[in-house]
Amino acid sequence: MHLHILGICGAFMGGIALIARAAGHRVTGCDANAYPPMSAQLAAQGIELVEGWGADQVALKPDVFVVGNVVTRGNALMEAILDRGLPYVSGPQWLRENVLAGRWVAAVAGTHGKTTTAAMLAWILEHAGLEPGFLIGGVPENFGASARPNPPLDKGGFFVVEADEYDTAFFDKRSKFVHYPARTTVLNNLEFDHADIFPDLAAIETQFHHFVRALPASGLIVANGADAALARVLARGCYTPVEPFGVAAGWNAVPAAAGGFDVLWRGENQGRVEWALQGAHNRANALAAIAAARHCGVAPAQAIAALAAFEGVKRRMEMRGVVNGITVYDDFAHHPTAIAATLEGLRAKVDGSRIVAVLEPRSNTMKVGVMKDRLAASLAAADRVFCYSAGLKWNAAAALAPLGAKAEAHADFDRLLESIVEAVQSGDHIVVMSNGGFSGIHEKLLTKLTRR
């Protein structure tokens, strides 16, 4: 079968491409403004990428067009598909019908931590010899790819999927995760995000309710027991057993020396995770992964051993280089809660060294200013703050004013770059936070610092 994927460079649709290609299908696709790591993954697999949305792509005559949610009405290629009555399907529907059917699906949902938790869970299952398939919104370092169909699609087995609450497609406004027939489900947390498609938190809670109400009674929900929004979702109707984490009555973490922590299940110690990751958010992610893995048949002791070898995920506090004693990291944080968690983890790692936070408020929620009043507080742990303000519909300098002289906002990218280079000194840790490519700022910073 030939699939032509519209929006192929997105994390989810790129994962669909990798799975379809590995399963023996011919895969082509189109997108605009591709950037790593997905563009690199596609190129490595020899998947043909067409730049843009030209209507002439219908001449490729695929068996089906797989449509990502980046595509809207008015898109030239989509209009041509509709005018000609050509077959098309959303990415989540294609995944359900062609990959997830007949498998033990482990789905990881929540506002924050989905990618890392899903990567941890997939690695635990892999470490235990279960060879799971997976589709994750990032690239786990232990695997080197964001998706794989393993084992063959007709052989059943486990499949870990990052279960996103963003909408499915322009013709299907339900959240992606309602398409996933999960048996093991993680609900990490829930707060307001995606202001471009959800009017308020209650609307997101309704989508989570739709997801939860379709889960089987023979399954398991691993839920953050300290999250009020998730408690409201479950109170609306839940037919599946729930194991809480983050609370003494369920799975809990007790920090230990050198960044590790003890894992407790209902007060009984299951073992100690010893790793290099930092922060309460990573401990919470690990608890959820351990609990979910136990439901899949992996004992907590095995899961704890696996996490000692977990190497993290690209673009989640990924060190990009060190120049003249200055370390540059790349991180995907783009929501105030995630920004604060990233800085908390880095502070625990570097202790009293200076942290320089560089932020691109690129998500739709951040662009419209829904979270601007929380931004300064989320960046408080940094010693210097630089914000790229181009394209924002609000005044970034005003939002950062509570931080005083340590914060700057620049609408000109080159000036932003120069200001960072002028401000940093040996021993500093620069963490760049964006959910996009940020104009390749990481390499540009490293190059300028080398020449300084």
pLDDT digits (tens, 9 = 90+) for 74-103: 999 999 999 999 999 999 999 999 999 999
> What is the pLDDT at residue 194?
83
**Per-residue pLDDT at 257:** 75
Whole-angstrom Cα distance, residue 395 to residue 367? 11
User: How large a percentage of the chain has pLDDT more than 90?
Assistant: 74
Question: Which residues, other chains included, contact 436 with Cβ-Cβ below 8 Å and sequence gap of 6+?
Answer: 35, 360, 362
**Mind listing the domains of the chain with CATH numbers?**
2-92 (3.40.50.720), 102-307 (3.40.1190.10), 318-451 (3.90.190.20)
Interval 262-266 mean pLDDT? 96
For the beta sheet containing 2-6, the strands, ordered from the edge strand earlier in sequence to the opposite edge, are 48-51, 26-31, 2-6, 64-67, 88-90
| Cα–Cα dist 132/291, whole Å | 17
Average pLDDT, the chain: 92
pLDDT tier for residue 382 given thresholds of 50, 70 and 90: very high
What is the per-residue pLDDT for 11?
A: 85
Q: How confident is the model at residue 437 (pLDDT cuts 50, 70, 90)?
A: confident
pLDDT mean over 177-195: 93
| Contact yes or no for 175/167 (Cβ under 8 A) | yes
Out of 118-127, 151-160, 397-406, pick the least confident.
151-160
Distance CA 361, CA 102 (A): 40
| 39 vs 391, higher pLDDT | 391
Nearest-CA neighbor of 7 among 29, 26, 28, 38?
29
- Band of the pLDDT at 222, cuts 50, 70, 90? very high
The string of pLDDT tens digits covering residues 244-255 is 999 999 999 999
pLDDT of residue 151: 66
Position 114, amino acid: K
pLDDT digits (tens, 9 = 90+) for 333-362: 878 888 998 898 899 888 889 999 999 988
Q: What tokens appear for 46 in the block?
A: 């020899």
**What's the mean pLDDT in 267-277?**
92
Mean pLDDT over 163-172 rounds to 95
Residue 192: what pLDDT? 86
Measure Cα distances from 396 to 332, 363, 374, 410 in Å. Answer: 19, 14, 12, 9
Q: Which tens digits make up the pLDDT trace of 120-153?
A: 999 999 999 999 999 998 889 999 888 998 766 6
Unique residue bearing structure tokens 């084992």: 151
Residues 405-434 have a mean pLDDT of: 95
- Pick the closest to residue 67 from 82, 56, 45 (CA basis): 82
Q: What is the DSSP letter of 97?
A: I
Q: Which pLDDT tens digit goes with each residue over 1-32?
A: 999 999 998 889 999 999 999 989 999 999 98
- Smallest CA-to-CA distance from 19 within 133, 182, 179 is with 133
Above 80 in pLDDT, residue 40?
no
Residue 325's contacts (CB-CB under 8 Å, 6 or more residues apart) are 426, 427, 428
Whole-angstrom Cα distance, residue 41 to residue 144?
9
| Residue 41 one-letter amino acid | Q
Phi and psi torsions of 68, nearest 5°: -85, 165
Position 228 scores a pLDDT of: 96
Least confident of 39-43, 198-202, 352-356: 39-43
Instruction: Give Dmax over CA atoms of the chain in angstroms.
Output: 64
pLDDT given at position 152? 65
Q: Are 335 and 359 in contact (CB under 8 A)?
A: no
CA dihedral 284→287→293→294, nearest 10 degrees, is: -150
User: 109 in helix, strand or coil?
Assistant: strand
**Regarding beta strands 172-175 and 26-31, do their DSSP bridges make them parallel or antiparallel, or are they unpaired?**
unpaired
Q: Please, how many CA atoms are within 13 Å of residue 190, restricted to the half-sphere of its CB? A: 30
Could you tell me how many residues make up the chain? 452
Query: Does 218 score more than 90 pLDDT?
Result: yes
Query: What pLDDT band is residue 34 in, cutting at 50, 70 and 90?
Result: low
